[in-house]
Amino acid sequence: MFCKNCGKEMKESDAFCPVCGTRNDSNAAQNAGQIDGKAFQSNMANYAAANMAVHKKSQKKPLIIVGIILAAILAVVILAVVLLGSDISTVKNGSPYDYPDKTWGEVLDESCKNSDWSSFTSEDGDSVVEYNGVVKSTGVDLCIQFKVDDDEFEIAYMEVDGENCSLLEIASVVAVLFED
């Protein structure tokens, strides 16, 4: 005989299906109002165990989704670090047109102490690399901001000891740094 609900094979004497727990209406003892309590408990325990297994499987979905979200966030962070770091590399490895034999990285690392390179996006949406350091020979604080566009860049701002430099002063500082 087969269960009318799930189709699994069962004994004719079973009061309930051992798989899904559906009542066996063809059982004469059942129809007479007699229920085998042990068989009922056993069948219900099997049914509960089967449902618990299904419930445990469904708990894996949220963990998988959380894992995918964390992986996506990590990928974005790594991409941002790589892209921002490439702007710094572009400036460090670049040279002014008048001094092609030395790079900005070489000159600033040799001339200054407490060197700090960083990059950010300006309010105008420009990629900016900022250098901060202290000139070894004079002890003055130096801040230079380079505006980066693809593989090209230019000095957008310079500050010496907290004072904004004019274009002429910027040219003088560059000459002093690169001619030493």
Mark out the alpha helices in 59-147 (DSSP H runs).
60-92, 104-111
Summarize pLDDT for 114-157 with one digit per residue, the tens: 999 999 999 999 999 999 999 999 999 999 999 999 889 999 99
- Greater confidence (143 vs 180) lies with 143
- For the cut 90, the answer to whether the pLDDT of residue 73 exceeds it is no
Q: Are 26 and 12 in contact (CB under 8 A)?
A: yes
Mean pLDDT (whole number) for 72-83? 68
pLDDT at 6: 83
Taken as a whole, the chain contains a residue count of 180
User: How are beta strands 112-121 and 127-135 bridged, if at all?
Assistant: antiparallel
* Burial classification of residue 46, based on how many CB atoms lie within 10 Å of its CB (0-12 exposed, 13-18 middle, 19 or more buried): middle
Query: How confident is residue 29, by pLDDT bands cut at 50, 70 and 90?
Result: very low
Find all residues with CB under 8 Å of 113, minimum gap 6, and list them.
133, 134, 136
34-51: average pLDDT: 63
The edge-to-edge listing of strands for the beta sheet with 163-164 is 112-121, 127-135, 141-149, 152-160, 163-164
pTM exceeds cut of 0.85: no
SS3 134: strand
In the structure, what pLDDT confidence band is assigned to residue 163 with cuts at 50, 70 and 90? very high
- 106 neighbors 94 (Cβ within 8 angstroms): no
| pLDDT over threshold 70, residue 58 | no
Average pLDDT, whole number, for the chain? Answer: 82
Q: Is the pLDDT of residue 67 over 90?
A: no
